Amino acid sequence: MKLWQKDKEVSKSVEHFTVGKDREMDLFLAAADVLGSLAHTRMLASIGLLDEGDLSTVQQELKSIYNDIEAGNFMIEDGVEDVHSQVELLLTKRIGEAGKKIHSGRSRNDQVLVDLKLFFRSRIKQLVNNTGLLFNQLISQSEEHKDKLLPGYTHLQIAMPSSFGLWFGAYAESLADDMEMMLAAWKICNKNPLGSAAGYGSSFPLNRTMTTELLGFDALNYNVVYAQMGRGKTERILAQAISSIAATLAKLAMDVCLFINQNFAFISFPDELTTGSSIMPHKKNPDVFELIRSRCNKIQALPTEIAMMTVNLPSGYHRDLQLLKENLFPAFLSLNECLEMTGYMLQNIRIKDDILKDPKYAYLFSVEAVNEEVLKGMPFREAYRKVGMEIERGEFKAPASVRHTHEGSIGNLCNTEISAAFQHTLSAFNFKKVEEAIEALLS
């Protein structure tokens, strides 16, 4: 069954090629499609295109279909082109003529647009919640291990003293910036395209403000041509936000793979969280973090993939856009799994004590020695030369302590300020407004 089919049968090979994985991908959109139809049909009734009896019947059955979807009892039947067709087919089978009226004033073009926006909002919420859990864990571990020093590196060469407080806290602050990116994506996703129809509006007196309020959107995509142009652009912006979180996790995973190496030996994990070798009985491999690194690097390619799929498209709808689902939808699942697994692994991390007592780290304190001389009154360049000569002669003695007190340093992590910034960004996601709107729509 095809919404557009008239009296000609399409070639089976063309049908197979053009439908592709649409049915599989559209299952992700099923709940969103029903929500969009609940709002759209209430709007149709408000402008006289559905009478109260038909509206009541349609609304009741749409809610029944929604419950089936939530219970896992929904499928797109063989021969049915997409989720939009399946929902309309079910309605028509169950309630008759009223089911055929729900498509007035809309096209599958704006129908899938609103489905995607609703779906993206739900996935953004999930990502934000999981990122928040990892952020809180990193801040907690930063405070717990703030007095444990470790070497800092530049060019992978021993450089200056760092601490596990700095290390954990650095990734927490990185996630705080990632949430700024995600907030920008949320704002783009939280605009209503419904009512733009095929991309050129409708001769029906649609009330687009009404569907905007019913679905909990903050605003409209006002221009109907731009609403359609948002397909691809929305996905690209969202992919950039997703890739930002992925980049943070990939770098963290790389650090862990280095630090667990025997030549570093700064951290370890319980045996049950590592894997072994088929021939080397001593091996404890960080496979989890290697896979997190690879998965997240794959996700970082997503904005480019989407850009290349949309780069030369003119305005209006094009079937190329169908394929964006196949690239983007699996990335949500993968990144959420990486966030959850990173948190689980870090809960079980073991930090080595007294790392810097190893003599090979003595030169980490060369800058501390230079600064001590400067504080006594020696010009910096002379102090630098003095300590450098001591190192060359083998006479260098590391200072007994590290005194870093400025904002964001070893002795002043500013985790309170970082947490406040993170919470400020989280408060700008109006998840509660969206939840209340959807609850009202389903009540």
- 367 or 24, which is more confident: 367
Average pLDDT, the chain: 93
Does 231 have pLDDT greater than 70? Answer: yes
- 22 or 264, which is more confident: 264
Does 122 have pLDDT greater than 50? Answer: yes
- 22 or 123, which is more confident: 123
Instruction: Convert the pLDDT of each residue in 324-379 to its tens digit.
Output: 999 999 999 999 999 999 999 999 999 999 999 998 898 999 999 999 999 999 99
Provide DSSP, 54-89: HHHHHHHHHHHHHHHHHTT---PPTT--SHHHHHHH
Q: How confident is the model at residue 4 (pLDDT cuts 50, 70, 90)?
A: very low
Q: How confident is the model at residue 10 (pLDDT cuts 50, 70, 90)?
A: low
Check: CB of residue 146 under 8 Å from CB of residue 172.
Answer: no
Does 143 have pLDDT greater than 60? Answer: yes
How far does Cα 40 stand from its chain's mean position? 29
At 147, list the tokens. Answer: 């007095």
| pLDDT above 70 as % of the chain | 96
φ, ψ of residue 157 to 5 degrees: the values are: -105, 145
Q: What is the mean pLDDT of residues 418-439?
A: 97
Does 211 have pLDDT greater than 90? Answer: yes
Q: List Cβ neighbours of 156 (8 Å cut-off, separation of 6 or more).
A: none
Q: List Cβ neighbours of 195 (8 Å cut-off, separation of 6 or more).
A: 105, 106, 110, 201, 202, 206, 208, 211, 224
Does the model's pTM come out above 0.95?
Answer: no
Q: What is the mean pLDDT of residues 261-265?
A: 93
Residues 62, 90: Cα–Cα separation, whole Å: 9
Q: Residue 216, SS3?
A: coil
Residues of the chain with CATH 1.10.275.10: 12-101
Instruction: Convert the pLDDT of each residue in 279-322 to its tens digit.
Output: 887 878 899 999 999 999 999 999 999 999 999 899 988 888 89
φ, ψ of residue 181 to 5 degrees: the values are: -65, -45
* CATH no. of 108-195+222-357+408-442: 1.20.200.10
Residues of the chain with CATH 1.20.200.10: 108-195+222-357+408-442
Please tell me the predicted confidence (pLDDT) of residue 20. 67
Q: How confident is the model at residue 276 (pLDDT cuts 50, 70, 90)?
A: confident
What's the CATH fold of domain 12-101?
Fumarase C; Chain B, domain 1 (1.10.275)
